[in-house]
């Protein structure tokens, strides 16, 4: 413990936004996301995000939903999550 660290700082749980990986302090506007409907009695699957991060997350989920509805779920979402996108990406060249 450093001289500037107080006992109350050690007992206060610091929250880190899972979206951006930075601390959520008391001055930050934050949003709790979750838990999913199947787990409403628990806080295990509830996450606190910065409000801006929650907006980004919601936009990302909306985009993933659109891709899934277009039939691109396995190629553009599932496989890259498991294996990384590098093996799927090919450069397209045009012949002139």
Q: 15 pairs with which residues across the strands? A: 24
Q: Where are the domains of the chain?
A: 14-83
Check whether 10 has a pLDDT greater than 70: no
Distances (CA, A) of 15 to 1, 31, 54, 96: 19, 12, 15, 55
For the whole prediction, is pTM greater than 0.85? no
58 DSSP assignment: H
Residue 94 pLDDT class (50, 70, 90 cuts)? low
């Amino acid at each position: 413990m450093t001289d500037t660290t107080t006992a109350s700082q050690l007992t206060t749980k610091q929250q880190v936004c899972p979206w951006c990986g930075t601390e959520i302090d008391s001055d930050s506007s934050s949003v709790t996301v979750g838990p999913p409907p199947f787990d409403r009695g628990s806080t295990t699957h509830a996450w606190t995000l910065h409000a801006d991060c929650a907006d980004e997350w919601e936009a990302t989920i909306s985009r993933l939903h659109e891709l899934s509805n277009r039939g691109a779920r396995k190629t553009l979402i599932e496989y890259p999550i498991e294996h990384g996108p590098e093996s799927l990406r090919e450069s397209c060249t045009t012949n002139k």
